[in-house]
Structure 1
Amino acid sequence: MIKVTVWNEFRHEKHNQAVQEMYPEGIHGQLAKFLSEDEVIVRTATLDEPEHGLTEEVLKATDVLVWWGHMAHGEVQDEIVDRVHKRILEGMGLVVLHSAHFSKIFKRLMGTSCDLKWREDGGNCRIWNVNPSHPIVEGIGEFIDLDVEEMYGEHFDIPEPDELIFVSWFPGGEVFRSGCTYRRGNGKVFYFQPGHETYPSYYNEKVQQVIRNGVRWCAPTQNAYPTYGHYEARQKLKV
């Protein structure tokens, strides 16, 4: 069983009626609901909990961390970012959703600004599958159509992805690298673009399937974490 922690700021839902109506149990609640239908164990954590809900104990018991954030990236304590970063290097997976492209942890992992173009105009979106043999797109088909989604456009200031999974198109003519994977240390990272807080993207069955697939892909392997630092020779050296 894969052990998943879904992290969400849980701020929009407390102050914005439209978000409350769209996600009455919080975005984390909706993500946890459909992930729980898979063969995973799911817990949730939010920004205003002690240590943002990401204690050492919670992270040690987490195989994959799913992260959603938007309006309070700066409130995430650097100590917690360090803690999450260390766990990813050790092998914990990370699924980064929508505006979490600006989260401290994603920017730390990418080493770039992670900036982009955006527009909230109620337009539609077509998410093209450009890597059809990849496990993350299992059961998805050639594309995902969303009736409404926030426009994200290039240039997306991220390093060249290890694998490009999706490219999105918007009616204003923009395109966006909307599904990207990376490896950092022993850990795997998947960024997926859909998920504006007032739109129903996380109720879409194909979006849900991508996130499920992403969690499975990001799950740790049994590979041993490497040793670093001073190292004794494995065989006698000739001097």
Structure 2
Amino acid sequence: MKVTIWNENRHEKKNPAVREVYPDGIHGAIQQFLENEGIQAGTATLDEEGHGLSEEVLDNTDVLIWWGHIAHNEVSDEVVERVHQRVLNGMGLVVLHSGHFSKIFKKLMGTSCDLKWREADEKERLWVVDPSHPIAANIGQYIELPKEEMYGEHFDIPAPDELVFVSWFEGGEVFRSGCTYKRGQGKIFYFRPGHETYPTYHNKEIQQVIVNAVQWAMPTASEKPVYGNAKPLEAIGVK
């Protein structure tokens, strides 16, 4: 299994509070706990050449994790198209937190992916609504985060293929926080928590969900479907 973690890495450069929480960047924090689970993980960031997502990197990526926030528009359309084609061809994609507004997620969803939000240091409780799902393995009834950014409904996404988590926030809102989709041969998981000023990715249960999601999103060993004009498998009799 080869995972690439993509991160803007802009908050970490600009905001000392974020650097304090994630001194090696959000991508570095995720890389560390994935590697602790024996998963081969590399990183890529916005300011690298080609955003660190060359054809070679993507061709050697089984699952791509995406975290973005303040620089969605700086991601080149060429790279977005490259990632899009890889997902359709079977690469898994795990989109985290504000990655809901990324070009790649909106392209795959075909909707605005807009929502309500609020930063008020409020408690979030992520309820497991599909306890039999592999992404919820080794998670209890819920995950409780003492402080997180609120995302609230309506979340303008297509109806998920599977809904794994639903969040409740201290201020009263709810949110579809763990959603799966299939696009082409690829599997996609959107997971809501992860505001940059909170230590969410240091939480063991959140880490477990991401590890589970990476394993779930792995490409399957099946042949790519054949499209276009097809010769008959059997002789077609004259009628």
TM-score using structure 2 length: 0.98
Counterpart residue type for residue 169 of structure 1: W
Matches within 5 A, 1:141-160: 141-160=140-159
- Structure 1 residue 236: Cα displacement: 2.6
Counterpart residue type for residue 217 of structure 1: W
Q: Which runs of 5+ in 1 are unaligned?
A: none
The corresponding residue for 1:58 is 57
Instruction: Tell me how far apart the structure 2 counterparts of residues 122 and 129 of structure 1 sit (CA, whole Å).
Output: 22
Instruction: Tell me how far apart the structure 2 counterparts of residues 160 and 37 of structure 1 sit (CA, whole Å).
Output: 34
Instruction: Tell me how far apart the structure 2 counterparts of residues 74 and 227 of structure 1 sit (CA, whole Å).
Output: 35
Instruction: Tell me how far apart the structure 1 counterparts of residues 113 and 222 of structure 2 sit (CA, whole Å).
Output: 30
Q: Which runs of 5+ in 2 are unaligned?
A: none
1:92 and 2:91 equivalent?
yes
Instruction: Tell me how far apart the structure 2 counterparts of residues 69 and 125 of structure 1 sit (CA, whole Å).
Output: 21
- Structure 1 residue 182: Cα displacement: 0.4
Instruction: Tell me how far apart the structure 2 counterparts of residues 38 and 24 of structure 1 sit (CA, whole Å).
Output: 21
The corresponding residue for 1:11 is 10
**Secondary structure in 1 matching 2:233:** coil
- Structure 1 residue 227: Cα displacement: 1.4
Per-residue displacement from partner, 1:83-111 (whole Å, max 9, x unpaired)?
Answer: 10100011000000000000001001100
Count, aligned residues: 238
The corresponding residue for 1:28 is 27
Q: CA RMSD in A?
A: 0.8
1:210 and 2:190 equivalent?
no
Instruction: Tell me how far apart the structure 1 counterparts of residues 208 and 99 of structure 2 sit (CA, whole Å).
Output: 19
**Secondary structure in 1 matching 2:132:** coil
Instruction: Tell me how far apart the structure 1 counterparts of residues 225 and 193 of structure 2 sit (CA, whole Å).
Output: 35
Counterpart residue type for residue 181 of structure 2: Y
Instruction: Tell me how far apart the structure 2 counterparts of residues 190 and 79 of structure 1 sit (CA, whole Å).
Output: 23
Instruction: Tell me how far apart the structure 1 counterparts of residues 175 and 213 of structure 2 sit (CA, whole Å).
Output: 19
Matches within 5 A, 1:1-239: 2-239=1-238
Q: Percent identity?
A: 65
**Secondary structure in 1 matching 2:155:** coil
The ranges of structure 1 where at least 4 consecutive aligned residues each deviate by more than 6 angstroms after the TM superposition are none
Instruction: Tell me how far apart the structure 1 counterparts of residues 15 and 222 of structure 2 sit (CA, whole Å).
Output: 44
Instruction: Tell me how far apart the structure 1 counterparts of residues 117 and 44 of structure 2 sit (CA, whole Å).
Output: 27
